[in-house]
Amino acid sequence: MIPHDILTLYTSTMFEYGIAVIFLVLFVPFWRFVQGSALATAPVTAGVAARALALADWFTVPADRLFHRGHAWARPDASGLVTVGLDDFAAHLVGPLAQVAMPAVGATVGQGERGWRLMDADGKSVEMLSPVDGTVVAVNPDVVANPGAAIADPYGGWLMQVRPGRLRANRTNLLSGSAARQWMQHVAEGLVGQMAPALGALAQDGGLPVAGMARSLDPEHWDTVARVYLMTEEENGHA
């Protein structure tokens, strides 16, 4: 091999080594950047998942109630009547009320049809769907006189009592037990997805949702937000 060829080979080898060194120098900070981003993202993702679980656990789902997906509950009793109310999620979604407009005693209600109206002092209102078919035999006078009672204790209080027309058929559209808890988990996850940028505004001590979550999401159009969750954003047929 002549000296010229040796020099050319040496120069080529050194050039390749140089490229390898430059690659390593550039790759190390890039890798650290990528790893750092992954580590930064993981706590955020875990935090959102944990918040969804916390919300689902916080919205109580009593075992003795049957739940409609419009967030009303029904509780049959030994007399054959069904007591009806709104669930914990609905209470915190809507928040403080100025009036609950109840159907008259003797009126008929239908499962999945509008049963009563929740009204606020700002003049806005949302309707809720009845969980069962039947005839109204009583309305809660405490709620009529003090609408806040329906929000303060949604399971201890009640809205109306109904003599059901076809409770066995209605039960197929109601949730209880583990199915109700899974449904509430799904609702909580959907809420987290919608309110993720405003989680701080919706939390009190311990990260619990505050009364009036719909207002926290959209103060001007809280009623529109609430209707989506209460399934009254458009005309509904039977559930």
Q: How far is CA 187 from its chain centroid?
A: 4
Residue 66: φ, ψ to 5°: -105, 130
Mean pLDDT of 162-171: 97
Check pLDDT > 70 for residue 206: no
Check pLDDT > 80 for residue 232: yes
Place of tokens 């027309």: 165
For residue range 11-64, list pLDDT tens digits in order. Answer: 444 445 454 444 444 444 444 444 444 433 334 334 444 444 445 567 889 999
- What percent of the chain has pLDDT above 70? 67
Residue 210: φ, ψ to 5°: -95, 165
Check pLDDT > 80 for residue 93: yes
CB within 8 Å of 114: residues ≥ 6 apart = 127, 128, 129, 130, 232, 236
Which residues, in sequence order, are bridge partners of residue 39?
none
Mean pLDDT of 158-175: 97
pLDDT band at 233 (very low <50, low <70, confident <90, very high): confident
Q: What is the overall mean pLDDT for the chain?
A: 78
Domains and CATH numbers, the chain: 66-230 (2.40.50.100)
For residue range 126-136, list pLDDT tens digits in order. Answer: 999 999 999 99
